[in-house]
Structure 1
Amino acid sequence: MEPDDNDGMLETRLVRVRGRVQGIGYREACVRRAMALGVTGWVRNRMDGSVEAMLQGSPEQLADMCAWLGEGMSAALVDELEVTEVQAPFPRFDHFERLATV
């Protein structure tokens, strides 16, 4: 197996999305968008009404995904997007999934 040249480009972001983002299919749309972009990680609802996502990918993939999260989907009204860089070492995700509410 050859080494993955993209490992050096792998970055991780924790994103919190506030606004009207629960109860409208936002997480499912997020999973579809992440898979289309090749982003790995997870997304979940928070008890405070926000949505939280852990994203992993290249800088370009993460920029595209964060732009989508900020625009959301047509039914979403995003008021705030908080992006935090997660410093290495971090776990390597192999897919993107929807988690339970916390």
Structure 2
Amino acid sequence: MSKDIRAALVKITGRVQGVGYRAWVQAEALDLGLTGWVRNENDGSVQALVVGTDGSVADILERFRKGPPGAIVRSVEQHDTSLAEPPTDFRITK
């Protein structure tokens, strides 16, 4: 993975399931040229992997804090991670 590319694993909690959060994340990620995935977790949170330039990843992390209409975001926890092979698209996986 290029040193100019950042990968972040993110956990979003609050009212983030049943409000279109995953579809919204996918649209926002594609708008910013990010790759990765987003999925619902059994604990009611949403988890995402976002991969792109540092600026684009920082931008989507800010957007995650607001979320789509109907969402109430309580927390956005992220940590950078390394990937052997970055994803080539952005998918809703679960």
Structure 1 stretches of 4+ moved >4 Å: none
Normalising by structure 1, we get a TM-score of 0.87
The match for 2:63 is 68
Normalising by structure 2, we get a TM-score of 0.94
Structure 2: distance between partners of 1:17 and 1:90: 24
The offset of 1:91, in angstroms, is 2.2
What is the aligned counterpart of 2:84 among 74, 90, 100? 90
The match for 2:32 is 37
The offset of 1:25, in angstroms, is 0.6
Q: Which has the higher strand share?
A: 2
CA RMSD of aligned residues (A): 1.0
Unaligned runs of 5+ in 1: 1-6
The match for 1:99 is 93
The offset of 1:76, in angstroms, is 0.6
Residue identity in the other structure for 1:99: T
Alignment of 1:5-24 (within 5 A): 7-24=2-19
Query: Max radius of gyration: which structure?
Result: 1
Residue identity (%): 34
Query: Per-residue displacement from partner, 1:18-39 (whole Å, max 9, x unpaired)?
Result: 0000001110011000000001
Unaligned runs of 5+ in 2: none
Number of residue pairs the alignment of both structures matches: 93
Deviating more after overlay: 36-45 vs 70-79: 70-79
The match for 1:50 is 45
Residue identity in the other structure for 2:58: A
